[in-house]
Structure formats: C-alpha cells, structure tokens
Structure 1
C-alpha cells in the first residue's frame, strides 16, 4: 500500500487482476430465526453462551452522537514491493471463478536456490532459473510473458529498495530477474520480506509440490479474502463449511448472512445468523448494527477472535455487513470503506438496494451524507 501522493503499485496489480478475472468448544450464537425479516433481538458475542436481548425500538441502533470521519491509515512500503497480505489476497481473488485457476493469471518466480525451492515454496511458484537463466537469458518469449496479469518475484528475505547496494548483495538472483524482466517491458513486483515473511503468516499456502497447469490449479483451496490483517475475513458459504480453511485462518466467529446455508460448526465457533436475501426488498436497518457489534466484540475479545463474514458467494450481502462495520468502528466514510474492501476483495458488489441503505447508514452514523451513489457506482 502507498501513501496517496505515491505511485500506487498495488493499484496497478489490482487493475490487471480485474482484467484477468473474466469468468463469471464455544457455544453457537443464533440470533435470528425468520427468513425474510430480522427479528428484534441482539447478540452478546463476549459471553461464553448465547445471549439474546430484546430491542425495544430502532432508535437503540442510533449512535448517541455523530461519529467523526477518519481516513484509513496507509502504511508506507518501498516502491516495487507488495506485502504478504496483498499476495494472499491476490492468490485467493475470485470473480466468477477463482482467478488462480487461470495458468496465466500470475507468474511467481522463486529466486532462491534449487534446494530451498524443493523444500517449500509459495503455491504455483516456479524456480526462477526455469524462466530467467543466468546465461541463456529469458526462456519464455515476451509474447508469453505478456499473457500474465501479474509477475511476482521473491527471495528468502527482502526489505531493501529495489536496485540498492544492500538488495543487490542480499538477493542478486532476484535483482537480476527483476531488471531483466523490466528491460523486456514487464512490470514485476517483489514480495516484501520474501518467502520467510510469507511462510510465517501463511504456511498453508506454501508447498514442496509443483502446481503449474490448469487441472492442478483446480485442486487448490481458495481462501476467504483478508480484510483486516489477521482479524476480519470475507468469503463464501462453501468456504465457511471447509474445516481446513477455518483451522488455518484460526476463525473463531462467523457471521452467516444466508437464509439457507447452515452453520457448519456450531459446537466450536460462535455464530451470528442473519437470514438475508440479496434483493431489492431486503431491509438491513437492524442487521447492519447487529453485525457490526458482533464483529467488534469478537475482535476486541481476550484473546482476540477472528471473524469470517459470508453470504452465498461473498459478494453482496457479506460486503454490506463488512462495509457497515468499517464505517462504524473504523469511522470511515462509505466511499473509503468501499475502496478499502475492493482492494482486498475485487469481487465486492453489494446490490443497489444495499448501497442506498449503506448511504442512509452513513448519514445516521456521521450526521451527514459523506458519499454519493454516483461516487460508489463508478
């Protein structure tokens, strides 16, 4: 991520990502029973058991005083690098189908030794020598290289600016690959912290196996998008029922925004069930603050929990709930919250009805309208 006045390397990556995505023991908490409307009840996510509190009227959902809008905090990183968290979301991007299933979606080059590559590498990575040979040069034609949306390079570690004396000394093979690809007109990006940093956070996305061709890619597990690092995730109903995903991400709480998908692990996870419909009639006036409170209490727990928000596809209903949380508890305008969410989950697409209700929710939270419908539909 970059400060607003810096070139936005991640923006370029996400732009290319969107072009390539062409194919379309804790007790459970179940707060809602009805399918088409949200009942007047509220959930206490901090307690060790279900707690349902009657809501006497909708005024209770209104803040006592207007929130002061804030801007998202942007972390400065060296130009040419992207973070492990950004790579995680790129690998798990979905738009119709998982983008990683496309062999030309991302080219990952492991610029470490052959021995280190064989021990473990980022999933779908190739040994750099199979593409950029020290003596033979580039082994893939420029035409084929141009088919890739993203070209990612990594060494064992790496935090120094590209081209610096330290970077050249620490990872000469990576630097050579980077500049040779740049000379061919490519726009490669480097993994901040290298394989070591990525493997520390996401060991389940590292493997000793070569996974390159399309049939092999279709066997990969696609994970929910990481919205807040190590805290808040958004995905699909299928992902919410995959125990491997729940275990690897250390999920403790789930917001289930579907009418028909059951809570898969009610004996081990805490649930907030919001049986919402993705249509023009669905009223979110009570669901938005309830979901926001549930998420906030989970993240502020001792120990802190990790929350997965899901609907059927992880695009509309779940996005509306995530946006409401970011607005209320990060004090971001709807516009800033939507930009943040789309950078991390490219398939974010709340329907127009939900957008209009989120605009009204923004006015309720901040005391005035900060975003227009035209701005968020561009």
Structure 2
C-alpha cells in the first residue's frame, strides 16, 4: 500500500522512539536519577516514593495525582482517592501492568482529560508509577500528543530532555499507533506546538 509523503514523515517505530530516548545517554537505557522531575510546566513524572507521600506532594504544590500503577503487589503502588482527600489533592488511578502486551491505550484519553482539567485549574499534576519510567512516562507523552498537538517524536524528546524514561516496546508501539491516528484525523495540521 502506497503512503503519501506527508504520512510517511510522521510514521514512527518503537525503535525510532527508543533511539530518541537513549541518544542522550550514548545509546544506553537509563533509569531515572531523581524521585520525580517536572517534564512540562506543572506536570511531573515520579516514582512510588513521591506518589505515596502526601507531605512531599503538598510541599511541591501538587493538586492532582495520576497513579498509573494502582493496586497491591510488588509492581504496583497502593494508593487511592481517600488517602489524598484529607490534603485536598484530586486523584485518578488505574491498574496497569508494565508489560509489552498490556493495552495502556484505553487510559490515554481519560488521563489526558484529567491532566488538562488540572492545568486549567492552575494546578500541578504528579503522574507516577512504580519507578516513574514506563507507565507514567507513556501517559504524559500521550497527553502532550492529544492536548498539546505534539507528534510522538516531539513529545518523547520533551519528556526525555527532563527525565530518564524507559517505556516498554509495547507502550512505544501504542504511542506510534496514537500518532498515526491523530495524524490521519488532521490533529497536527496547522497547530502551534507549545515547546518549552
């Protein structure tokens, strides 16, 4: 099937995204060096320790939390809306596994809407998972694509410029699929990209 020149320029592969992610570290996959980082104005990506710390979140001025690894067990972070009500933090969480075949796509729109609502309220959002490298990073990249009209490459570069990330290959493919879908719907055409 022949593709137009324009669609070819935005099509991506997980390998291409992995190259963007590993380029700053000489081709090596790096885990985050900080518990959290601000990756876009008022959006933070973090690990379990900050995701569970009501005092730490409050001190940072966080008003909204997205737990992308909700649940009990070794690979999850056991938090819920009740524990944040007392400190006035709004919460959205879902149980996602950091596995190649897990469909994180079903959480892209709702997470993006929650983050966008927080920013419109002049809030600050902490998006976290266990390590703050795969699930949470993928959700923030999807937000930048959906709500800030960045291509997947632009969104990955922005997040990686602020934090070491390591979305699994399956998540990278889902981001590529989202990129194709947004491109085919005209989402990126004539949009001013807000790059910091």
The TM-score with structure 2 as length reference comes to 0.71
The reply on whether 1:251 has 2:62 as its aligned counterpart is yes
Change (3 A) 1:225 1:318: same
1:239 aligns with 2:50: yes
Q: Highest CA radius of gyration, 1 or 2?
A: 1
- Please tell me whether the aligned partners of residues 259 and 277 of structure 1 are also in contact (alpha carbons under 8 angstroms): no
For the Cα contact (< 8 Å) 2:69–2:129, is it kept in 1? yes
Give the distance between the partners of 2:175 and 2:107, measured in 1 at CA: 11
State the alpha-carbon separation in 2 of the partners of residues 266 and 287 from structure 1: 21
Give the number of aligned pairs: 155
The aligned counterpart of 2:193 is: none
Q: CA deviation at 1:248?
A: 2.3
- Quote the RMSD (CA, aligned, Å): 2.5
Query: Where does structure 1 lack aligned partners over 5 or more consecutive residues?
Result: 1-13, 25-94, 99-221, 370-378
Paired position in structure 2 for 1:201: none
**Take 1:318 and 1:250, find their aligned partners in 2: how far apart are those partners?**
19
* 8 Å CA contact 1:319, 1:348 repeated in 2: yes
- What is the match of residue 5 of structure 1? none
- Structure 2 partner of 1:287: 107
What is the 5 A alignment of 1:49-198?
95-96=30-31, 98=33
**1:325 counterpart residue number:** 143
> Which of 1 and 2 has higher RCO (CA within 8 Å, sep 6+)?
2
Cα deviation per residue 1:22-65 (whole Å; 9 max; x = unaligned)? 9x9xxxxxxxxxxxxxxxxxxxxxxxxxxxxxxxxxxxxxxxxx
Q: Tell me the CA shift for residue 305 of structure 1.
A: 0.9
Separation in 2, partners of 1:228, 1:359:
20
What TM-score do the two structures reach when normalised by structure 1?
0.38
Q: CA offsets, 1:292-333, max 9 Å, x none?
A: 0110011002xx111000011001101110000000111000
**Structure 1 consecutive aligned stretches of length 4 or more whose deviation exceeds 6 Å:** none
Q: For structure 2, list consecutive stretches of 5 or more residues without a partner in the other structure.
A: 1-22, 72-76, 187-196
Residue 349 of structure 1: how far off its partner (Å): 1.1
- Look up the match of 1:357: 174
